[in-house]
């Protein structure tokens, strides 16, 4: 019930809501960036998708094509010709680049979805601030870092905010819109309208660790990993328990693999450093071990479970 029709609803609502933002640059073509590029293109916006790796960009284009096919199966099931047109037009709106500076020059909005690391994000935004037009809004899709801290390196702090999407982006309906201390009203309103234009239900968040969803979800996932680490239950049983006992669509360990164990670790390590007295944020030896072994979850082919390598 949760899944059925979600894409269709996203698609139809995205056609209905207009945003002044027409040119979107998405930086980071991984799990999240590819989804953000897809929903923006579906909504009729011109998208430039940027990654340091051209292999990642090729993979992103392929997965966007596959996921648009899922939309077509539902929305255009009685009109395959229209469906083909929709896929071709959406894909045609996405260009790819490996140079973020070049991509930012024509952007109304830049959404950053690169690795969850403050230094790397600072380096990128400093670079972008020097080249993007003065009207360009900058947003980070960070899961756990402070928007104010990310924005500290740019001059346009009034045009900086958080746009926190959920994985898988084409399916999950929520967008957390984060107001930083200096985000002005016009930027906040533009981010809210843009979020609606790409089919999302927007909520407003303060710049607090994990905003709303991750402040609740990450400690839950971490407690599940600790439960498994202690040997209190098998991975399969923990996941079955939360699916059948609490009605969650995925169990916590499946979800950890889905999000990426590296991303989970980046989040936890960052919070532990900042809040060393909070036991919920303590490092988890098993998580550290899996990440050090390159077992990052679905994206690497193994985490708590094994997957067909993507």
Active site residues: 143, 164, 176, 214
Q: Any contact of residue 31 with ligand NAD (CB under 6 A)? A: yes
Estimate to the nearest angstrom the gap between the alpha carbon of 92 and the chain centroid: 22
Q: Which stretch binds ligand CAA (CB under 6 A): 9-17, 92-100, 223-231, 248-256?
A: 248-256
Q: Choose, by CB under 6 A, the member of 72, 255, 256, 298 that binds ligand CAA.
A: 255
Q: Any contact of residue 140 with ligand CAA (CB under 6 A)? A: no
As a whole number of angstroms, the distance between CA 20 and CA 197 comes to 10
Residue for token pair 């009034």: 158
31 labeled binding residue: yes
- Which among ligand CAA, ligand NAD, none contacts residue 100 (Cβ within 5 to 8 A by kind)? ligand NAD
User: Cis bond leading into 306, ω under 30°?
Assistant: no
Are 68 and 95 within 8 A, CB to CB? no
Q: Any contact of residue 139 with ligand CAA (CB under 6 A)? A: no
Q: Any contact of residue 303 with ligand NAD (CB under 6 A)? A: no
Estimate to the nearest angstrom the gap between the alpha carbon of 81 and the chain centroid: 31
Neighbour count for residue 71 (Cβ, 10 Å): 20
Instruction: Please give the residues from 154 up to 193 whose contact with ligand CAA meets the rule CB under 6 A.
Output: 166-168, 170-172
Burial of 304 (C-beta count, 10 Å sphere; 0-12/13-18/19+) = buried
Residue for token pair 């430039």: 48
As a whole number of angstroms, the distance between CA 198 and CA 38 comes to 9
Closer by beta carbon to ligand CAA, 132 or else 304:
304
- 116-150 in b/e burial notation, b at 16+ Cβ within 10 A? bebeebbebbeebbeebeeebbbbbbbbbbbbbeb
Size of interface with ligand CAA, in residues (CB under 6 A): 20
Question: Nearest to residue 271, comparing CAs of 282, 263, 260?
Answer: 282
Estimate to the nearest angstrom the gap between the alpha carbon of 71 and the chain centroid: 19
Pairing outcome for strands 46-50 and 23-27: parallel
32 labeled binding residue: yes
119 labeled binding residue: no
Token pair recorded at residue 101: 């500076």
- Which among ligand NAD, ligand CAA, none contacts residue 52 (Cβ within 5 to 8 A by kind)? ligand NAD
Q: Any contact of residue 259 with ligand CAA (CB under 6 A)? A: yes
157 labeled binding residue: no
Closer by beta carbon to ligand CAA, 67 or else 197:
67
Task: Write down the least CB distance from residue 251 to ligand NAD, Å.
Answer: 15
Q: Residue numbers of the site for ligand NAD (CB under 6 A)?
A: 27-33, 50-53, 56, 100, 113-116, 120, 124, 141-143, 165, 167, 259-260, 263
Extract the annotated binding site for NAD(+).
28-33, 51, 116, 121, 143, 167, 299
Q: Residue numbers of the site for ligand CAA (CB under 6 A)?
A: 3-4, 7, 67, 70, 74, 143, 166-168, 170-172, 214, 217, 249-250, 255, 259, 263
């Amino acid at each position: 019930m949760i899944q059925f029709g979600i894409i269709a609803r996203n698609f139809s609502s995205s056609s209905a809501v207009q945003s002044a933002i027409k040119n979107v640059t998405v930086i980071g073509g991984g799990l999240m960036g590819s989804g953000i590029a897809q929903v923006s293109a579906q909504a009729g916006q011109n998208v430039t998708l940027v990654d340091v790796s051209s292999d990642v960009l090729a993979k992103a284009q392929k997965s966007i094509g596959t996921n648009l096919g899922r939309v077509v199966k539902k929305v255009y099931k009685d009109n395959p010709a229209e469906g083909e047109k929709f896929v071709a037009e959406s894909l045609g709106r996405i260009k790819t680049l490996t140079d973020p500076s070049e991509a930012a020059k024509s952007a109304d909005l830049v959404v950053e979805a690169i690795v969850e690391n403050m230094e790397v994000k600072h380096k990128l935004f400093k670079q972008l601030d020097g080249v993007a037009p003065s009207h360009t809004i900058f947003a980070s899709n960070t899961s756990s870092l402070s928007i104010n801290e990310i924005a500290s390196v740019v001059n346009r702090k009034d045009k900086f905010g958080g746009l926190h999407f959920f994985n898988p982006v084409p399916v999950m309906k929520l967008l957390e819109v984060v107001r930083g201390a200096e985000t002005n009203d016009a930027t906040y309103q533009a981010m809210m309208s843009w979020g609606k234009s790409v089919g999302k239900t927007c909520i407003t968040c303060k710049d607090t660790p994990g905003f709303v969803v991750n402040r609740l979800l990450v400690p839950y996932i971490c407690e599940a990993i600790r439960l498994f680490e202690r040997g209190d239950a098998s991975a399969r049983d923990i996941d079955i328990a939360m699916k059948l006992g609490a009605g969650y669509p995925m169990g916590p360990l499946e979800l950890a693999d889905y999000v990426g164990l590296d991303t989970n670790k980046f989040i936890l390590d960052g919070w532990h450093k900042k809040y060393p007295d909070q036991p919920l944020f303590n490092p988890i030896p098993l998580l550290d071990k899996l990440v050090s072994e390159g077992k990052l979850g679905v994206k690497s082919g193994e985490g708590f479970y094994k997957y067909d390598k993507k």
